[in-house]
């Protein structure tokens, strides 16, 4: 069995990060890595190179268009979209990690290797409709993340969060696997698209076992997007994880889980029309619960990372509302939303690093008055928070706008009203961060701590934050270009929707 | 120059933002330079707007300047980048461009820190206000309407008083709550109309059942009423006004509140004429409550700034009453009253700011005999006070008189009663303003060491006089020859009301009011309850 050159080209974006990760693992065998600066530099350089190489080949593929599927691997526009999405997130994470791990005093090469493996798993996860490959992708991106959450072993909370995440994640993976097995048992094929056709032909579309199987698979996705009631791991894991890793999880895990959900449920399971309707009702209820619980709990957080965790839960609610509307335009909105969400959330977590907040010192109190000390970062913070709250003319507004518009268009006016009310609540806790940054003077305690710490130099994290701010601003003024040129093409030429 | 000839409005709207970003990028150390640059920029915008807007002869439809180009189509809804200045918004645009540099000059030394950032935010706010005023596409209007909140939030929150964080959050979230629900209504209607063009949306709205129209109208009305603010949605206003720095209060009162009334006349009433007629009575009732309640609450205030804030509630109640009267004279009165309130209340906030900068207190009880120490200041305060309570020959009189006249003659069953009730608000207005004036300026000099009067050492300087003079000129000009300021809006208002009430037999009562109103207003004075109370 041999691969044609074009198939090699389609595989390269996956292979390059794997190769880079292996090189980094070898480098990190050097016991002096904590003391020798050039080795650390080489490891980070390799990681960035691997991400850039993968990104480069992905843009090449994007220019060429959708690739024919092989080995159950669909390198279509949607997969390329996912790849670009994940690689941008990974690059931002690597940049922020350099500063964050130096601040924490815990620079280890294996974090980078794990990050790259996870990124490859994510691309695999979102580019297949074959259940085994899907599960492989899920585990390949989840297991490194379990380890990454607990990576700073010097902190006991870190290990605790990692363990929590691992245990709940393992249960969710098992459920996902069970669901796939049920579908396989009834249809006799692992290819989900084929299975859907077979089940329809057999008249088993509404068979209780099929429903259970589909529901268990849905549970797996909902766990990864951290929708209520599968969200409890999120705040603990984010709080335990190093800031850049928390940002990466909040963005990339959620993003690829939504894209894979899009590929499987409205995509592959399209023939099972009636099942789709049942799932839609379930998703609507869960979306409402996610919005209400996520937003209300975020209100009372005193730790910025936990607030961002609940905020990320509530954003899963808005995205799920896009699935409730269920029109091609709504899915376009979901993809656009994810792009903006990538920038604003990676940026928000990057701020913590850029402001030099380490360990547990990530409360609103710790941020007081910092906006004036670092005006550029403060400006970026205002952009991220207002965009997360959905205030025009920033990118976040247009994501919500597209989803709410489709909800109204499909007759779900009540859900749209609930959505805007949730937005209103969210504005309060996002403003709290701006209140801390600009409207409050630093507390005496914070001043003392700041004088104890060495001056913060986080040039790479700062650069990453500014890149994110530019993307969010661009999303507000060139939204149509992003939607038409990127999100819509991924959907049309990836899933064949909107044709 | 060709680009500028084609896009004068784009330039007017976005030049402040460009300058604002430049100022934001300048270092803190050159704050004084930034303040100067900001002022000169705003002044240039004002001069340009005067030259361009008054220099163009209006086209047939009354449009003075217009730009329209397709912007983007998202989720099937086309959005046009459509801006225009016509009779309805001409003077509000000029009021905005006038007040911004004036306020900057008037509060030159009020702030001590982060001058550049303040000037930058002020300029961003100007973009938001101008954009909302000239937008002719509802999506564009919504963008500017919301974007306006951001600079105002920071202006209150950073440079405000002791309770500034609470006030800023309340202002932001209160306004946001109205506009988010309005967004759903907007999306619902845009979905029916296939776009955000107001004409198309009005057409689509007319095809809907009255029940749906009512809901949509209520969503529009609540969003605008919060901004006005109409009783009982006014509770954010006293907090925001009292906590905001002087410049913020002036612009809040001067322009931001006007956008609520403008939203009614530009969008809510024309788009849902039936519902607007149907809900005229409750709106009028709330307006009357706002007039009387605002005045009563103002009367018992101990803080001058809070008193002025509640007087805003009362005065904006007149605006809403005029709009609800659905008569040409009432609506024209509302248009004028919006300008009046912008000038008079803006000036009051400026004056209170000048007093506060010297005495560091705003409590009425801390003063007494200020007239002895600051004669020039007292003179200006007197003139503005008289304008605020509607003395004939000042601007306040004409607007209130037209509104009461329009309400009385509206032909609605409630018209006469409400006009009488609202008139009591004029009386109360005289009571609270003059009583405050008496306690602060007259009487024996308050010699107490801690008193505000004791800390007054200097009268107004040349800069402050330069700020107040154009205001006094406008107060008299608008009182003597209001036609200058309402001539442009007469045709669109008349056309709008004729369209709304075409089948109604009431139209004849409007006719005598329209042509004689501007010049004849003084001769009507004996009939108007206003005059008696003032004397």
CB spacing of B184 vs A417 below 8 angstroms: yes
Q: What angle do CA B283, B289, B295 make, to 5 degrees?
A: 135
Question: What does the alpha-carbon distance between residue B284 and residue B323 come to, in Å, rounded to a whole number?
Answer: 8
In a domain? residue B182: no
Residue A289 Cα, gap to closest chain B Cα (Å): 20
In a domain? residue B57: no
Q: Residues 6 or more apart from A35 whose CB is under 8 A from it?
A: none
Residues of B in contact with A421 (CB under 8 A): 180
Residue B125 Cα, gap to closest chain A Cα (Å): 13
Nearest-10 crossing angle of helices A328-354, A395-409: 150
Question: A426 to chain B: nearest residue by CA?
Answer: B173
Residues 459-478 of B with CB under 8 A from A: none
Q: What is the pLDDT of residue B189?
A: 92
Residue A412 Cα, gap to closest chain B Cα (Å): 10
Interface test with A, best of B74, B114, B131 (most A CBs within 10 A): B74
Question: What is the rounded average pLDDT of the residues B10-36?
Answer: 90
Six token digits for residue B452:
């505000």
Decide if A318 touches B, using CB distance below 8 A.
Answer: no
- Tally of helices (H runs) and strands (E runs) in chain A: 22, 0
CB spacing of B184 vs A386 below 8 angstroms: no
CB spacing of B191 vs A439 below 8 angstroms: no
In a domain? residue B465: yes
Cross-strand bridge partners of residue B80 = B70
CB spacing of B157 vs A439 below 8 angstroms: yes
Q: Which of A397, A405, A428 sits opposite B77 (nearest CB)?
A: A405
pLDDT tens-digit series, residues B393-404: 888 889 999 999
Decide if B212 touches A, using CB distance below 8 A.
Answer: no
pLDDT tens-digit series, residues B410-428: 888 888 899 999 999 899 9
CB spacing of B164 vs A413 below 8 angstroms: no
What length is written for chain A?
A: 499
Q: Which of A333, A392, A421 sits opposite B147 (nearest CB)?
A: A392
pLDDT tens-digit series, residues B224-236: 999 988 988 999 9
The more confident residue out of B285 and A106 is B285
pLDDT band at B507 (very low <50, low <70, confident <90, very high): very low
Residues of B in contact with A404 (CB under 8 A): 183-184, 187
Phi, psi of B68 (to 5 degrees): -150, 130
pLDDT band at B504 (very low <50, low <70, confident <90, very high): very low
How would you class B32 by CB atoms within 10 Å of its CB: exposed for 0-12, middle for 13-18, buried for 19 or more?
Answer: exposed
Q: What is the pLDDT of residue B296?
A: 93
**Inter-chain CB pairs, A–B, below 8 Å:** 91
Q: What is the pLDDT of residue A456?
A: 65
Decide if A491 touches B, using CB distance below 8 A.
Answer: no
Six token digits for residue B237:
């206003």
Low-confidence ranges of chain A (pLDDT < 50): 498-499
Contact B211, B227 (CB under 8 A): no
Six token digits for residue B490:
């007469």
Is the pLDDT at B532 greater than 60, yes or no? no
Q: What is the pLDDT of residue B26?
A: 87
In a domain? residue B121: no
Q: What is the pLDDT of residue B443?
A: 80
CB spacing of B158 vs A409 below 8 angstroms: no
Question: What does the alpha-carbon distance between residue B38 and residue B114 come to, in Å, rounded to a whole number?
Answer: 13
Q: Which of A392, A408, A417 sits opposite B191 (nearest CB)?
A: A408
User: If we measure between CA atoms, which residue out of A431, A424, A262, A428 comes closest to residue A337?
Assistant: A262
Phi, psi of A264 (to 5 degrees): -85, -55
- If one counts every other C-beta atom within 10 angstroms of the C-beta of residue A369, the result is 18
Question: What is the rounded average pLDDT of the residues B330-350?
Answer: 92
CB spacing of B77 vs A413 below 8 angstroms: no
Residues of B in contact with A431 (CB under 8 A): 153, 169, 172-173
Decide if B76 touches A, using CB distance below 8 A.
Answer: yes
Q: Residues 6 or more apart from A183 whose CB is under 8 A from it?
A: A131, A192, A195, A199, A210, A213, A214, A217
- Collapsing DSSP to helix, strand or coil, B80 comes out as strand
Q: What is the pLDDT of residue A203?
A: 84
Q: Residues 6 or more apart from B377 whose CB is under 8 A from it?
A: B351, B354, B355, B370, B459, B460
The DSSP annotation for A241-268 comes to S-HHHHHHIIIIIHHHHHHHHHIIIIII
CA distances from B323 to A247, A477, B59, B216, B326 (A): 51, 36, 26, 18, 6
pLDDT tens-digit series, residues B218-264: 999 999 999 988 988 999 999 999 999 999 999 999 899 999 999 99
Residues 452-481 of A with CB under 8 A from B: 479-480
Among the ranges A66-70, B110-114, B348-352, B392-396, which has the highest mean pLDDT value?
B348-352
User: If we measure between CA atoms, which residue out of A85, A468, A394, A465 comes closest to residue A251?
Assistant: A85
Residue A188 Cα, gap to closest chain B Cα (Å): 39
Is the pLDDT at B529 greater than 80, yes or no? no
Residue B166 Cα, gap to closest chain A Cα (Å): 10
Q: Label residue A106 left, alpha or beta by phi (over 0 means left) and psi (-120 to 50 means alpha).
A: beta
CB spacing of A431 vs B153 below 8 angstroms: yes
Question: What does the alpha-carbon distance between residue B509 and residue A411 come to, in Å, rounded to a whole number?
Answer: 44
User: If we measure between CA atoms, which residue out of B142, B58, B26 comes closest to residue B492?
Assistant: B58
Question: What does the alpha-carbon distance between residue B152 and residue B139 come to, in Å, rounded to a whole number?
Answer: 21
In a domain? residue B394: yes
Residues of A in contact with B187 (CB under 8 A): 404-405, 408-409, 416
- If one counts every other C-beta atom within 10 angstroms of the C-beta of residue B520, the result is 11
Question: What does the alpha-carbon distance between residue B24 and residue B385 come to, in Å, rounded to a whole number?
Answer: 37
Q: What is the pLDDT of residue B153?
A: 93
Residue A59 Cα, gap to closest chain B Cα (Å): 25
Decide if A431 touches B, using CB distance below 8 A.
Answer: yes
- If one counts every other C-beta atom within 10 angstroms of the C-beta of residue B59, the result is 11
Six token digits for residue A112:
């980078």
In a domain? residue B254: no
Strands B77-85 and B65-74: antiparallel
Q: Residues 6 or more apart from A375 whose CB is under 8 A from it?
A: none
Phi, psi of B328 (to 5 degrees): -65, -45
Is the pLDDT at B533 greater than 60, yes or no? no
Q: What is the pLDDT of residue A351?
A: 92
Contact A258, A322 (CB under 8 A): no
Rg from Cα positions in chain A: 22
Nearest-10 crossing angle of helices A131-149, A109-125: 150
Decide if A335 touches B, using CB distance below 8 A.
Answer: no
Phi, psi of A115 (to 5 degrees): -60, -45
Is the pLDDT at B432 greater than 60, yes or no? yes
**Host H or E run for residue A395:** helix A395-409
Residues of B in contact with A417 (CB under 8 A): 181, 184
Question: Which DSSP letter does residue A69 get?
Answer: P
Residue B188 Cα, gap to closest chain A Cα (Å): 6
Task: Tell me what percent of the residues of chain B surpass a pLDDT of 70.
Answer: 93
Question: By residue range, what is the domain housing residue B478?
Answer: 279-535
Is the pLDDT at B531 greater than 70, yes or no? no
Question: A402 to chain B: nearest residue by CA?
Answer: B75
Contact B331, B493 (CB under 8 A): yes
- Collapsing DSSP to helix, strand or coil, B322 comes out as helix
Q: What is the pLDDT of residue B525?
A: 39
Q: Specify the number of domains making up chain A.
A: 1
ipTM score of complex: 0.91
Q: What is the pLDDT of residue A497?
A: 56
Question: By residue range, what is the domain housing residue A307?
Answer: 5-495
- Collapsing DSSP to helix, strand or coil, A363 comes out as strand
Peptide bond between residue B229 and the one before it cis (omega within 30 degrees of 0): yes
Phi, psi of B450 (to 5 degrees): -85, -5
Query: Which range (A358-367, B66-75, B135-144) has the least confidence?
Result: A358-367
Question: A416 to chain B: nearest residue by CA?
Answer: B184
Decide if B183 touches A, using CB distance below 8 A.
Answer: yes
CB spacing of A427 vs B173 below 8 angstroms: yes
Residue B355: CA atoms inside 13 Å, Cβ hemisphere, count? Answer: 33
Question: What does the alpha-carbon distance between residue A127 and residue A63 come to, in Å, rounded to a whole number?
Answer: 18
Decide if A379 touches B, using CB distance below 8 A.
Answer: yes
Decide if A408 touches B, using CB distance below 8 A.
Answer: yes
Average pLDDT value over all residues in chain B: 87
Six token digits for residue B348:
């009051």
Q: Specify the number of domains making up chain B.
A: 1
CB spacing of A408 vs B142 below 8 angstroms: no
Q: What angle do CA A140, A142, A146 make, to 5 degrees?
A: 125
Q: Which of B75, B158, B169 sits opposite A431 (nearest CB)?
A: B169
Residues 16-75 of B with CB under 8 A from A: 24, 71-75
């Amino acid at each position: 069995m041999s691969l044609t050159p074009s198939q090699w080209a389609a595989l390269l974006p996956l292979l390059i990060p794997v190769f880079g990760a292996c090189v980094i693992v070898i480098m990190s065998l050097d016991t002096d890595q904590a003391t020798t600066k050039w080795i650390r530099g080489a490891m980070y350089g390799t990681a960035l190179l691997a991400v850039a190489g993968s990104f480069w080949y992905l843009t090449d593929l994007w220019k060429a268009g959708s690739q024919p599927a092989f080995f159950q691997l669909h390198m279509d526009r949607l997969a390329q979209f996912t790849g670009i999405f994940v690689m941008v997130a990974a690059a931002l994470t690597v940049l922020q990690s350099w500063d964050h791990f130096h601040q924490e005093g815990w620079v280890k090469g294996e974090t980078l290797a794990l990050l790259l493996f996870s990124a490859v798993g994510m691309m695999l996860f979102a580019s297949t409709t074959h259940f085994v490959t899907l599960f492989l992708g899920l585990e390949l991106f989840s297991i490194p993340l379990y380890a990454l959450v607990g990576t700073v072993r010097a902190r006991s909370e870190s290990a605790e969060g990692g363990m929590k995440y691992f245990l709940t994640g393992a249960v969710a993976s098992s459920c996902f696997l069970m669901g796939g097995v049920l579908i396989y048992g009834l249809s006799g094929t692992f290819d989900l698209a084929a299975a859907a056709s077979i089940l329809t032909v057999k008249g088993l579309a509404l068979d209780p076992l099929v429903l259970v199987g589909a529901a268990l698979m849905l549970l797996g996705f909902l766990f990864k997007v951290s929708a209520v009631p599968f969200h409890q791991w999120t705040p603990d894991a984010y709080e335990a994880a190093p800031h850049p890793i928390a940002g990466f999880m909040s963005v990339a895990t959620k993003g690829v889980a939504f894209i894979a959900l899009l590929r499987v449920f409205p995509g592959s399971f399209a023939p099972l029309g009636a099942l789709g309707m049942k799932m839609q009702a379930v998703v609507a209820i869960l979306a409402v619960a996610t919005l209400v619980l996520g937003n209300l709990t975020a209100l009372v957080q005193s730790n910025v990372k936990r607030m961002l965790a609940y905020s990320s839960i509530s954003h899963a609610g808005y995205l799920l509302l896009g699935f409730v509307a269920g029109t091609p335009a709504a899915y376009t909105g979901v993809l656009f939303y994810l792009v903006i969400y990538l920038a604003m959330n990676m940026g928000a977590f990057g701020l913590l690093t850029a402001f030099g907040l380490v360990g547990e010192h990530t409360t609103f109190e710790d941020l007081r008055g910092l906006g004036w000390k670092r005006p550029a970062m403060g400006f970026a913070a205002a952009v991220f928070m207002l965009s997360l709250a959905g205030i025009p003319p920033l990118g976040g507004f247009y994501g919500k706008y597209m989803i709410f518009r489709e909800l109204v268009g499909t007759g779900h006016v009540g859900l749209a009203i609930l959505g805007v009310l949730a937005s209103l609540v969210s504005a309060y806790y996002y403003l709290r961060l701006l209140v801390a940054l600009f409207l409050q003077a630093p507390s005496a305690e914070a001043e003392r701590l700041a004088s104890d710490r060495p001056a913060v130099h986080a040039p790479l994290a700062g650069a990453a934050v500014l890149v994110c701010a530019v993307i969010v601003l661009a999303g507000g003024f060139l939204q149509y270009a992003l939607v038409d040129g990127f999100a819509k093409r991924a959907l049309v030429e990836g899933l064949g929707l909107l044709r | 120059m060709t680009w500028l000839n084609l896009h004068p409005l784009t330039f007017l709207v976005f030049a402040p933002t460009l300058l604002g970003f430049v100022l934001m990028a300048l270092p803190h150390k050159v704050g004084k330079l930034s303040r100067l640059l900001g002022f000169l920029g705003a002044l240039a915008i004002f001069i340009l707007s005067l030259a361009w807007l008054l220099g163009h002869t209006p086209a047939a439809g009354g449009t003075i300047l217009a730009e329209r180009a397709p912007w983007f189509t998202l989720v099937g809804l086309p959005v046009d980048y459509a801006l225009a200045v016509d009779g309805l918004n001409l003077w509000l645009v000029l009021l905005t461009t006038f007040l911004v540099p004036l306020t900057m000059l008037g509060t030159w030394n009020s702030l001590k820190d982060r001058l550049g950032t303040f000037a930058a935010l002020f300029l961003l706010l100007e973009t938001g206000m101008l954009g909302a005023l000239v937008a002719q596409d509802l999506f564009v209007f919504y963008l500017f309407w919301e974007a306006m909140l951001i600079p105002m939030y920071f202006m209150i929150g950073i440079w405000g008083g002791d309770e500034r964080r609470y006030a800023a959050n309340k202002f932001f979230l209160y306004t946001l709550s109205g506009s988010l629900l309005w967004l759903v209504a907007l999306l619902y209607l845009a979905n029916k109309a296939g776009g955000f063009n107001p004409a198309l949306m009005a057409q689509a709205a007319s095809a809907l059942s009255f029940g749906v129209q009512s809901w949509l109208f209520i969503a529009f009305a609540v969003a605008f009423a919060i901004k006005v603010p109409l009783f009982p949605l006014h509770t954010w206003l006293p907090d925001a006004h009292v906590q905001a720095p002087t410049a913020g209060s002036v612009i809040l009162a001067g322009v931001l509140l006007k956008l609520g009334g403008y939203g009614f006349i530009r969008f809510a009433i024309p788009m849902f004429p039936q519902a607007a007629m149907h809900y005229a009575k409750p709106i009028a009732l709330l307006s009357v409550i706002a007039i009387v309640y605002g005045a009563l609450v103002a009367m018992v205030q101990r803080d001058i700034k809070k008193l002025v804030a509640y007087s805003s509630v009362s005065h904006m109640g007149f605006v809403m009453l005029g709009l609800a009267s659905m008569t040409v004279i009432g609506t024209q009165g509302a248009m004028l009253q919006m300008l009046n309130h912008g000038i008079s209340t803006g000036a009051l906030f400026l004056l209170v700011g000048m007093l506060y900068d010297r005495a560091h207190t705003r409590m009425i009880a801390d003063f007494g005999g200020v007239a002895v120490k600051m004669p020039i200041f007292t003179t200006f305060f007197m003139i503005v006070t008289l304008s605020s309570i509607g003395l004939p020959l000042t601007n306040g009189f004409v607007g209130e008189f037209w509104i009461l006249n329009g309400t009385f003659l509206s032909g609605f069953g409630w018209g006469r009663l409400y006009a009488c009730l609202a008139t009591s608000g004029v009386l109360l207005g005289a009571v609270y303003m003059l009583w405050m004036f008496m306690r602060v300026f007259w009487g024996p000099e308050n010699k107490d060491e801690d008193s505000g009067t004791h800390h007054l050492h200097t009268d107004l300087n040349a800069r402050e006089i330069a700020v107040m003079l154009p205001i006094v000129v406008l107060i008299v000009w608008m009182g003597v020859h209001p036609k200058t300021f309402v001539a442009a809006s007469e045709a669109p208002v008349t056309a709008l009301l004729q369209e709304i009430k075409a089948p109604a037999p009431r139209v004849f009562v409007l006719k005598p009011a329209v042509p004689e109103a501007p010049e004849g207003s003084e001769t009507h004075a004996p009939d108007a309850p206003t005059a008696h109370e003032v004397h």
